[in-house]
Amino acid sequence: LETLDTYKAILGEIGKLRSAESLLAWDQQTHMPGAGSAARADALGKLSRLGFELATSDELGQCIEELEARDDLSDEEAASVRDVGRQYRRQKAIPPDLFEAFTIAQSKGQAAWAEARAKADFAHFRPNLEKLVDFARQFAEYYGYEDTPYDALLEPFEPGMTSRRLRKIIEPLKAELVPFLERIAAEGTPPDADVLVGSFPVNMQREMSRRTLEIIGYDYGSGALDDAPHPFTTEIAHGDVRITNRYEEDDPVSGLFGALHEGGHALYGQGMGENLYKLSLSDGASFGIHESQSRLIENQIGRSRPFWRFFQPIIGEFLPQLAGVDAEALYRAVNVVSPSLIRVEADEVTYNFHIMLRFELESALINGETAVADLPALWNDAMQRYLGVSPNDDADGVLQDVHWSMGAFGYFPSYMLGNLYAAQVATALRADRPNLDAEIEAGDFEPLVSWLREKVHQFGGVHRAEDLIRRITGEGLNAKHFIDYVVGKFSDIYRL
Ligand code: ZN
């Protein structure tokens, strides 16, 4: 067999195993009865081991080496070899014994974290976190880096991104948005959030989400919407991109924005051709770019005035108590700015501060500048600096996210980058489609989705994040677009 065919055949095998794994994991979160969890964990473990063996096989390594030396590959094939090669070398870099010890520390870490969080007792989690940080630091040495160990951990989420660059990106954000938040609090006229107070049947909220996803162009012929404790999107395979969501009876819009967010991720997955799935390029350009697609739909569109002019009768149809609230009041009510303790509840102005804080802390941990024992105090201090609030206990503070308990360091910045990429892409979108607002107000999402398909979705992981952004907007990542967007939008809402 020709090397390229062998390479594609191996990716095909890995892809089938991953597809089965994703389906079992999706089912675990949606329909699996609780008593099935032990058998499911075994089955998932087996599939994951089989996939790992293939993904680290000498045969695949040989293919990568031969293909890297060739110059007759298509753009897609070359991008595939670049990414698969990068992952292959990372996986091979870690001694198997060390990796196995890490996976044990991960599951112990998650259990200890869940217990510590329930008891709001950081000390209970501390020894586990110390071990996980130690593993991450060892891994960084094996992976290699130019500047700081943390950069080696950032790499799989945001290839090419460095902490030095992140600090540069954060500087103007901090300089502009900290005082802007203070101005909102001191001089702003807050929207009336009470218009959304009430009890809203979950089944009606679910139907509203189902309908909303259809309206924005999510294709149920190659997707499904189910309930799960946490919203997520999973690409089971080409032609099968599923969404999960959750609803709260006392909040009529958290489920709606969950659906719009996941809908943005899912449109990305549904907008990629089969070839990208076959070449292992269906994860997108980076985690941050994936998040930009969800944030664009959720915030740039879903929290915009034209969207609420369109959506007002629809929300009234599903949730009749809201039928009498006008579009402007709804628009204002879904855009309340309020410094909160919890990242996942944060608004557009304050969200990035939650990420800056985590980035500061986790990079200092990995680079050996901070001890795990000091985290709670440093956390609370940073919350004061950025948001002017302090958690009452560690459950609402340093223990709130699951990421560190899984040894996932370097993940958080992608959330912030997603917001910044979304604003920059939206600037280009608005320049290309001056009638966008009128289209959204008329409920016509087709031009929007077509534009995203053409500029972002169809490429999957072919272009690196920075290259993709440059192609779309003519410049590299620039936080100015986000600052302009947020200051403009919320100056209007808060009448500053
Ligand atoms: Zn997301």
Instruction: Give pLDDT tens digits for 425-475.
Output: 999 999 999 999 999 999 999 999 999 999 999 999 999 999 999 999 999
Distances (CA, A) of 265 to 16, 102, 140, 208: 21, 30, 29, 19
Does 262 participate in catalysis according to the annotation?
A: yes
- Gap from CA of 196 to ligand 1 centroid (Å): 24
- State pLDDT tens for residues 109-144: 999 999 999 999 999 999 999 999 999 999 999 999
Distances (CA, A) of 56 to 10, 174, 283: 11, 42, 19
- State pLDDT tens for residues 338-373: 999 999 989 999 999 999 999 999 999 999 999 999
CB environment 207-236: b (16+ within 10 A), e (fewer): ebbbebbeebbbeeebbebeebeebbbbbb
- Gap from CA of 456 to ligand 1 centroid (Å): 16
pLDDT at 198 over 90: yes
Query: What's the mean pLDDT when you consider all of the chain?
Result: 96
Q: DSSP character for 445?
A: -
Amino acid symbol at 238: H
Amino acid symbol at 413: P
- Gap from CA of 294 to ligand 1 centroid (Å): 6
- Residues 375 and 381: their CA atoms lie apart, in Å, by 10
**pLDDT at residue number 143:** 97
- Residues 63 and 85: their CA atoms lie apart, in Å, by 9
Instruction: Give 362-403 as a DSSP string.
Output: HHHHHTTSS-GGGHHHHHHHHHHHHHS---SSGGGTTTS-SG
**pLDDT at residue number 314:** 98
Tracing tokens 């990542």 back to the chain, one arrives at 477
Is residue 285 a contact partner of residue 291, using CB atoms and an 8 Å limit? Answer: no
Catalytic residue among 21, 76, 262, 348: 262
- Residues 439 and 65: their CA atoms lie apart, in Å, by 49
- Gap from CA of 475 to ligand 1 centroid (Å): 24
Closest CA to 158 of 404, 422, 403, 465: 465
Q: Would you call 241 helix, strand, or coil by DSSP?
A: strand
pLDDT at 1 over 90: no
